[in-house]
Amino acid sequence: MEPTHLFELVIAMFLAIIALHYAAHRLGLPPSVALLTGGASLAFVPGLPAISIDPGLVLVIFLPPLLMDGAWSIAAGRLRRHVIGIASLAVGAVFFTCAVVAVVAHLIFPSLPWAACAALGAIVAPPDAVAARAVLQRVRLPRRLQILLEGESLLNDASGLVLFRFAVAAAATGAFSAGEAAGSFLVLALGGAVVGIVVGTAWYKLVRRLGDEYLIIAASVLLGWIAYLLGEQLHVSGVIATVTAGLIMSWHQHTVLSAAMRMRGISFWTVMIFLMEAAVFILIGLSLRDVVERGGGFATVIATMGLPMLAILVALVLARFAWVFAADFVIRLCTALGFTRAAPLGVGGATVLSWAGVRGVVTLALALSLPEGFPGRDFILVTAFAVILGTVLIQGTTLGRVIAWARLVEPESERARLTMSQAEAAMAQAQFGIVQSLAYDAEGKLFHPQLLERYQRRATSIVDYAERTEHYIPVLHAHFDVVLEAVATGRRELIRLHRAGEIDDETLRELERDLDLEELSAISAKA
């Protein structure tokens, strides 16, 4: 394919992303479902060239920034609090699911070597960070379940990759050592964490000296790829390195980035991540044509592999249910015996956590990376795609209903000690305190009376609002509705002045930025 044609295809893909997202919004579907099915439909459009995905390139391009975005937005405090539960899912559940799938695959095809069965298990075992984010963005979960799923999706790829590499090596050499695999996983994880700490610390020191906000934003965007590539180059976990660097950046960004950097950087980053997440599902859908052709066509795939693929999918789902419910039972037992005060998830929470294991790009990339001539390669590839399709279409579309059925309640231990209104009141009191101390000159004369009055009034009103929030909400909404109307009117007048030639472009941009900030502030306060 000529480079210009490839570029045209990329532009067409982004246009398809916009159209499919809009269709998903209108139909009330998860965008991931629309993108996946849309990409699969486009794959069979006559005249469209077949899309062949380089698995290594896909992982390098898409995985680091998407992992970085997850690490940036995750709540670090709750991540530490639930590290055992996250490790149980990211390591224990992946290993257990891999073993269950391997046993089921060997029962279905006794002639398939155990190493090939283990490779299939490693490919489909880890839920995908991209797919999980796409599903979780559309549902509301208690904080504990949210952090468990987010933390799992950030870290479980490392487990799956280690298992996959050992399974492929075992197929080639005929030897496998569980102890060696466990030791290798520990070395890769610790090595990745060290690389992430080094890269994240280097970013922190660099951005404090760069000074230019665009250079800082560029350095922050590149951080994920640098950590991942360096980790892989040093033969440790690039996934763990990326997540660790992202957590360090997330922790320090509040102190080293200015407000302008943060607003501009987040705006750019949000659009980039949106396009990358959507492109992943489009590419998965477009790869269907190659997968089906490898399997001999739709009719052959359904006739020869339909039931085995369904059995693998069912085994995959049941294995996650078994692990999650068993872990919840252990927590319940330890709580009853007084060993821990951790609250069990309960049937509803465990069901939601079990049903949220959606697979995505990592599963497909690992399947495509199997060497030619690998035992059962075509079956593994087709099964991997079927698992992605099944989990996204079935679990992704029904997770909202499962959450509604579960009627989940936020445990008291997971609630913050202060509400947002109380935190605003504390912040306003601190601001008033510093203004009060600086409002007088050296002789004790009041130098900033209006400023002092403004902050005093603000502190008093916010404290009163925090104490009587429900009483003020209707008044607050009405107040900011008027503010938004005033902003809109001011914007129309500003544009009229510019169109009439009475102000220049620089004045337009400066005043428009002020209106934008006022509008964003009003929308945030109203919400």
Q: Give pLDDT tens digits for 238-280.
A: 989 999 999 999 888 877 887 778 888 888 888 998 888 888 8
Cα gap 284→364, rounded to integer Å: 7
Per DSSP, what are the bridge partners of residue 446?
Answer: 440
Cα gap 4→26, rounded to integer Å: 33
What's the whole-number average pLDDT of the chain? 83
pTM recorded for the entire structure: 0.78
Q: Residue 132 has what pLDDT?
A: 64
Cα gap 473→479, rounded to integer Å: 10
Categorize the per-residue pLDDT at 223 as very low, low, confident or very high, splitting at 50, 70 and 90.
very high
Q: Which of 513, 510, 494 is nearest to 502 (CA)?
A: 494
Q: Which of 368, 357, 356 is nearest to 286 (CA)?
A: 368
Q: Which of 413, 261, 402, 317 is nearest to 93 (CA)?
A: 317
Cα gap 476→465, rounded to integer Å: 10
Please answer whether residues 148 and 82 qualify as being in contact, where contact means their C-beta atoms are separated by less than 8 angstroms: yes
Cα gap 252→257, rounded to integer Å: 8
**357-385 tens-digit pLDDT:** 888 778 888 888 888 788 888 888 889 88
Q: Name which of 75-89, 312-326, 445-459, 460-474 the model is least confident about.
A: 460-474
Cα gap 129→120, rounded to integer Å: 19
Per DSSP, what are the bridge partners of residue 440?
Answer: 446
Categorize the per-residue pLDDT at 234 as very low, low, confident or very high, splitting at 50, 70 and 90.
very high
Locate the DSSP E strands across 131-254.
none
Positive or negative torsion for Cα 179, 181, 186, 190? positive
Structure tokens at 339: 């060993």
Structure tokens at 465: 């609002």
Q: Is the pLDDT of residue 104 over 80?
A: yes
Q: Is the pLDDT of residue 229 over 90?
A: yes
- Which segments of 28-113 does DSSP mark as H helices, in order? 31-42, 55-73, 76-81, 83-87, 94-108
Please answer whether residues 68 and 223 qualify as being in contact, where contact means their C-beta atoms are separated by less than 8 angstroms: yes
Q: How confident is the model over 31-52, as a mean pLDDT? A: 79
More confident residue, 198 or 450: 198
Categorize the per-residue pLDDT at 224 as very low, low, confident or very high, splitting at 50, 70 and 90.
very high
Cα gap 285→283, rounded to integer Å: 5
Please answer whether residues 224 and 199 qualify as being in contact, where contact means their C-beta atoms are separated by less than 8 angstroms: no
Helix/strand/coil (H, E, C) string of 250-319?
HHHHHHHCCHHHHHHHHHHHHHHHHHHHHHHHHHHHHCHHHHHHHCCCHHHHHHHHHHHHHHHHHHHHHH
Q: Residue 527 has what pLDDT?
A: 64
Secondary structure of residue 249 in the 3-state scheme = helix
What one-character DSSP code corresponds to residue 446? Answer: B
Most confidently predicted of 230-234, 400-404, 432-436, 450-454: 230-234
Categorize the per-residue pLDDT at 476 as very low, low, confident or very high, splitting at 50, 70 and 90.
confident
**109-164 tens-digit pLDDT:** 998 888 899 999 999 998 876 666 666 666 677 778 888 888 888 888 788 888 88
More confident residue, 194 or 211: 194
Q: How confident is the model over 191-220, as a mean pLDDT? A: 91
